[in-house]
Chain A
C-alpha cells in the first residue's frame, strides 16, 4: 500500500516552515470529524496528513488590543461553547457551538475545520458572516486577514490555496451587540441544520433593532436575511417568515435537481414550509432577551 506521511508540527513557526514542502495532495487534519469518515469510506490517496492538533497557539481565545476577539482555528466547538468571552460577546456563536453534532463531535471538531470544510449546512459560517468576522490565513509568506466574503465564495468554495492554513478567526467586539442562533435540524440534538438562522441586534430605548441576520443551510453559503428589521417584533414575524420562505423557494427553483434524499414533493418543499419555525424561534429569543 502507498505510504502516507504524517506531520504534526508543535508550533506555528514549524507549521509555517512546513507549508512550502507539502505535497499537493495533503490533507489537513483539524478535529478529524469530517476527514476521518472520508478516509474510511472513500480511501483518498493522500501523500501526507498534516495535523494541527499539537499547536497550542491555534487554541487560544483572547481579546486583541484593536478590539477583536481572536479565536484560534483549532478551538473545538466544546471549548468555544464553554468560553466566557465567546459567551459574553458572541452569544449566537456560543449557541451554534453548543449544538453542533454530538458531544463527541463537539469535543473534537474545530471552528476552523468547520469553516474550511465549508459544508453548506455548517453552523459556524453564518455566525462569522453575522459578526463581520475576519479570517487569518498563514502561508510561507506570513499571515493575512480576509473578510468572510473573500474567504467563502458564493459557490461554497474557500479562497485557501495550496500551502495556506486558516489559523484564527477575528470577531469585532461590540459590547452593545446581542445575538442568537437557532437551527432546524431533523431532530433536536445530534443533527445537521436544514435551516439555521442567526441574528444580531442592539437595544435602542428599550426596543431591539435587528441589525443583521444570516441564514445557513439553504444555499451553498450563508445568505443575508432580506429584511432583518422584521425579526424585532412578533407583529412582523409572519411577514419575516414569508420573506424567508420566498427566499428558500427562489433558491430551490434555481436548483437543477433536488437533493438526493428529498424524494417526495413534501420533502422538497419542507424547508420553505418550516421557515416559519426558525423565524418565530428567533423572534421569541429576541423578545425574551429584551426583558
Chain B
C-alpha cells in the first residue's frame, strides 16, 4: 500500500497554538475603532403581549446610540434554520415580537459605545405585558383546549414512515420500552458572537460570525434587510466549539439590522446565560419503541413513536423529528419498520440543532430497547446484535441507498475482545453477588451516522485552488471548522495530493465572497464531501501543472514523474521543473494563471459504525455512577488525523456520559423558565469523571472517499449514553431509561427495589 506523506500522521490542529496562546481571535475578541456594542433585554413572562415598552430613560443615557424593540423594527418574519431561500420551514421569528412566548425571550436591544452602558440602558427599559395563558409541558400543549402559541397550533406532525408491514408480523415475541432524554445545553466554550459592519458608500454589509453555514446566514440576513445577496458578505470566524449550536442563524439578523440601521459596526456577544437560554437547547425526547423479535433473537420488526419538545418556536424541530426516522435503518437489518413523530411547541426556551441531529436520540431509544430485549430473551447483547446487524454494502431501506463499506461486525467482535467483555461480565456477576455497597455493570451500544447529505439533499461541495508564484498554494473551500481540526484535515488532503508542504498551504475557511456555494458544515460531511472536493480540485490542478511542465520541458506529459514539488523525466532526472518554475512559465510564457475550480457532488453516504463498551461502578449508598473504563470502536474508513479522531472520541464520551448521568437543563414547571443558566448548576462530566478511554479505529478505505475517509465528529456521541444506561441497569438489575440517571434517580430506583 502506498505510504502517505501526511494523511494518517498525527499532526495537531493547526489552530491549537493560537488557541492556547490566546493569539487566535474569536469574534468576541475583535474590536475596531468606532465599533458599537449591543446588549439584549430579556422578557419576564411565560406568554403574553407587550402592552407598552418605555425606552425613554434608556435612550437618554449618555453613550446609547439606539434602542430597538418591536415598535421600531420591521414586522418581518424569518426562519433561523434555513440554509437557502428554497427551504420551506415556517417563518415564525421576528427581530422583536410583541407576542412573547417564553421567559427570557428578547424584548429589546440597546446599542451603545460600550457593553456596560448598553447593559445599563437595558435595565432602564420598562416593559408591561398582558399575560396570556401558557403551557409548559408537552402533555398540556398537546391537549385540544391548550392555549395556542402560534396561529397554526402547537403540534407539528411529521409524515410517518412505513417499510414492510409492522402490524402484520406474527408468531414473534413483542417487546415495548419507553425512553426519555432531558434537555441539554451544547457546552460550547465560546459563547455566541457576531460582528456586522455596514459600508454606506458601497451599500454592502459584512458579517463576521462563528457559524456553520455562511450561505445560510447570508440568505436570512439579506432577505431580512432586503439586500441583494451579492452585497452581503458573511465570513466564518474561529469557533470555540459548536455541537450544533452554531448551525442556526441566531445573532446575525439583529446585529446586521443594527449595523445597517446605524450605518456602522456593531458587535453582540452572548453571556453564558443567553447562550443557554437564547440559542437553543437539545430537545427533550419521549419515545416509545415496540419490536417483534423471534425467540432466538432475530428482529422482525420495529415501531418507533417519538415526541420532541420544540420549545416556543418550531424552528428546525419538525425536520429534526423526520431525521430521527430517516436514520432508523442504518444499523440493523429490519424487514418491517414503522416510524411516526411530532414536535410540540411549549412556552419554554427553544430547542433545536444538536450534535448528531437525531442519531444520539434514535440510538438511545433503540439501543435501550435492544438491550432490554436481549436481556428478556437471555441472549448476550453483543450476540443479539451480531444476529441483526447490516453487512457491508447492505441497502438501508429508508432512502434505498447502500450503507457503503461498513464493518459493524468487526466493531463488535474486536471491541468484545479488547474490552474483555465476557470476563468483565462474569467479574460483575461475582462482585454483585455479595450485595455490597458498590455494584458493577457492563454495557454496550451500537450506532451509525451520515457522511454526507446524499441522497436527501444534493450534496454540493466546491473548491478553488490557486498555485502561487512561489509554488505555494491557496485553497478556498467553504469549510466551517468547529474547532476540531477540519481545516487541518483538508489541508492534509491538499498536501497529500500536491506534495506541497503543509506550511506552504493556506486553506481559507468559508467566506461568501471568496468561496463558492456550500450548504454548510453539518451532517458530519466535511471530510467526506468537502475533502473529496479538495482532493479532486488539487488533482486537477496538478494535471494542469503536469501539462505545463511537459510543455516547458518539451516532452510528453506521460513520461513525467512528480515528487515533492518537482516534475522530472524518469529516464533523465536532470530534466526537471519545480512548481515555482511551472508557475513562472505559465504566467510569463503561456500567459495563464494556474488555478482550478471544481464542484463535486457526493453520490453516496457511507455509514460509520461505532460500538461503545463501558464498565461502571454504582454506589448504592449515594447513587453515584462512576465510569471505570470504556472503549469506543469506530469504523472511519481512514483516519486523516488519528489523534484528532481520538480527541473527538473523548468528547463524545464526555458528552454521552453527561447525557446518561447528569446533564439536564431543568425547566420550572410553574413558569417554563430555564432554572439552570450557568455552569455552576449545570452538571457535566468533568475531567476527573472521565475514564481512561480506549479507542480502536477500524480503517478499511471507503471507495470514492478522500483517501478512504468517512466521518467521525458526531457519531462519537451516539452510542455512549445507551451503553452507560445498559451498564447501570446491568449493575443494579433495573430497567431505567428516563435520563439522566442522576444519583437521586438511582436511589429512587433502589428504594423501589426494596
Contact = CB atoms under 8 A, between A and B. Distances in A.
Q: Do A and B come from one complex?
A: yes
A273 B748 CA distance: 9
Given A186-B683, A187-B662, A261-B675, A270 B747 contact: yes
B666 interface: yes
A22 interface: no
Nearest to A275: B621
A270 B120 contact: no
Interface residues of A, number: 25
Contacts of A1: 116-117, 120
Contacts of B742: 267
B686 interface: yes
B747 A261 contact: no
A276 B621 contact: yes
Given A1-B116, A260-B675, A280-B621, A273 B747 contact: yes
B623 interface: yes
Contacts, number: 69
Contact of A274 (B117, B621, B626, B687): B621
A187 B686 contact: yes
B747 A274 contact: yes
Interface string B657-676: 00000100010110000011
Interface residues of B, number: 34
A263 B744 contact: no
A161 B699 CA distance: 69
B669 A263 contact: yes
B751 interface: yes
Interface stretch (A23-31, A52-60, A188-196): A188-196
A266 interface: yes
Interface string B117-141: 1011001000000000000000000
A266 B747 contact: yes
A276 B747 CA distance: 11
A20 interface: no
A106 B351 CA distance: 36
Nearest to B676: A261
B743 interface: yes
Contacts of A273: 623, 747, 751
B619 A192 contact: no
Interface in A157-188: 184, 186-188
B23 interface: no
Nearest to B745: A266
Contacts of A189: 686-689
Nearest to A273: B747
A3 interface: no
B680 interface: yes
A10 interface: no
Given A192-B680, A270-B747, A43 B123 contact: yes
B717 to A, nearest CB: 20
16 contacts: A184-B622, A186-B743, A187-B686, A188-B689, A189-B686, A192-B680, A260-B668, A260-B675, A263-B666, A263-B675, A266-B745, A267-B744, A270-B743, A270-B744, A278-B622, A280-B621
Interface of B: 116-117, 119-120, 123, 273, 437, 619, 621-624, 626, 662, 666, 668-669, 675-676, 680-681, 683, 685-689, 742-745, 747-748, 751
